[in-house]
């Protein structure tokens, strides 16, 4: 009888171990970019994330290039638990979190390290996830595209705020229209898909982006000048399905959290190394880099900062701004 009990206990232990080991199914990951560990910021994060999970015997199924749908479609699938991990653009996050708008205010952050520290110290993730919980989405982190925002254009070098007077820049949305007008420009809202045509036809003469975006979009040959402004980082949003994450055991959630940390670390190292690479690519492609003259960035900051409360409620700005060092 004792032998039988021992055998039964041993069998139960084996079955329990096997069940635990098999409890976490393959992780479905979706994003808009390509599986390029050299040029694609999102994939750098995803590759490290997947490799971290693989250490625990968990496999990842990666769907690149919008193969599971465009931004809004992927967001809906994350909400429903059909996609476990989605790397999305900021506009997608805006739909689910009022708080998240503050992260994209121009001239709030000038570096990725500043962004990361402010989010960690301000409790920003708690605020965002309180917003997104109703949509079944959990914000786990951000993947940086590398570099910071500046002005690209086809017409002339820009070294002062007066240089942008009357220039027709492509604006992403109404918010960009407001602060570009404050700089003295004449912005016009153009979708990103239509931007190349707008540049070629003169509907717009430039836009507000980092070199990494211009390289990724294949626009180097369409532009002639770039002015670095350190006006903000360019984060992509790492979203998890709340239903999926909440159904994981504590141990499995720990694996996912560690995978997010691994992906973030790999992405930040990549982003830092790629800044000079992207700048070299645009210069070799014929784009001249012109820095702002002393004191001119302060003029852009002042003209923009006064508009922040028009773009984001002051109560939200007050949560994070004190932590920007």
* Alpha-helix residue ranges (DSSP H) falling in the chain: 2-22, 41-54, 71-80, 90-94, 112-122, 124-132, 174-182, 195-201, 211-216, 242-247, 250-284, 296-305, 308-311, 314-320
User: What local confidence, expressed as pLDDT, does residue 48 receive?
Assistant: 98
19 assigned to some structural domain: no
Are the CB atoms for 213 and 281 separated by under 8 Å? no
User: Does residue 64 sit in the same domain as residue 108?
Assistant: yes
CATH of the domain at 291: 3.40.190.170
pLDDT for residue 95: 87
Average confidence (pLDDT) per 10 residues, the chain, 325 residues = 44 41 82 94 97 98 97 97 96 93 96 96 97 97 96 98 98 95 98 96 97 94 98 96 97 98 98 96 98 98 97 97 96
Tell me if 17 is assigned to some domain. no
- Measuring CA to CA, which residue among 169, 144, 307 is closest to residue 232? 144
> Rounded CA gap, 274 and 284, in Å?
15
For residues 69 and 192, state if they share a domain.
Answer: no
My answer on whether 64 and 170 are in the same domain is no
Helix and strand numbers (H, E) in the chain are 14, 11
Quote the number of domains for the chain: 2
Q: What is the pLDDT of residue 23?
A: 57
* Same domain (yes/no): 141, 173: no
The CA distance from 195 to 152, in Å, is 12
Q: d(Cα 46, Cα 41) in Å, to the nearest integer?
A: 9
Q: Give domain status of residue 169, yes or no.
A: yes
Range(s) of the domain holding residue 318: 150-232+279-323
Residue 33 and residue 95 in one domain: yes
Q: Report if residue 12 sits inside a domain.
A: no
How far is it, in rounded angstroms, from Cα 324 to Cα 313? Answer: 17
């Amino acid at each position: 009888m004792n032998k039988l009990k021992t055998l039964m206990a041993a069998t139960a232990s084996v079955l329990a171990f096997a069940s635990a080991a098999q409890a976490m199914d393959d992780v479905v990951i979706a994003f808009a970019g390509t599986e390029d560990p050299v040029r694609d910021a999102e994939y750098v994060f995803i590759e490290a994330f997947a490799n971290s999970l693989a250490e625990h015997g968990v496999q990842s199924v990666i769907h690149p290039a919008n193969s599971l749908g465009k931004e809004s479609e992927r967001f809906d699938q994350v909400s429903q638990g059909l996609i476990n991990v989605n790397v999305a653009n900021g506009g997608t996050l805006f739909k689910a979190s009022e708080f998240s708008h503050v992260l994209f205010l121009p001239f709030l952050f000038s570096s990725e390290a500043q962004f990361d520290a402010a989010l960690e110290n301000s409790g920003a993730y708690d605020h965002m996830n309180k917003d997104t919980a109703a949509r079944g989405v959990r914000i786990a982190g951000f993947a940086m595209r590398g570099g910071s925002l500046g002005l690209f254009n086809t017409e002339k070098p820009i070294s002062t705020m007066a240089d942008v007077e009357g220039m027709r820049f492509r604006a992403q949305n109404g918010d960009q229209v407001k602060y570009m007008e404050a700089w003295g420009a004449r912005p016009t809202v153009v979708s990103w898909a239509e931007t190349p045509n707008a540049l070629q036809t003169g509907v717009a003469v430039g836009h507000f982006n980092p070199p990494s975006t211009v390289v990724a979009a294949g626009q180097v040959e369409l532009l002639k000048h770039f002015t670095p402004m350190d006006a903000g980082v360019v984060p992509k949003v790492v979203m998890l399905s709340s239903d999926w994450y909440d159904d994981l055991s504590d141990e499995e959630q720990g694996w996912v959290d560690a995978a997010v940390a691994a992906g973030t670390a790999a992405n930040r190292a990549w982003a830092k190394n790629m800044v000079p690479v992207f700048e070299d690519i645009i210069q070799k492609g014929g784009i001249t880099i012109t820095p702002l003259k002393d004191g001119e960035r302060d003029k852009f900051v002042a003209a923009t900062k006064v508009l922040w409360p028009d773009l984001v409620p002051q109560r939200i700005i007050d949560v994070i701004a004190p932590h920007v060092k």
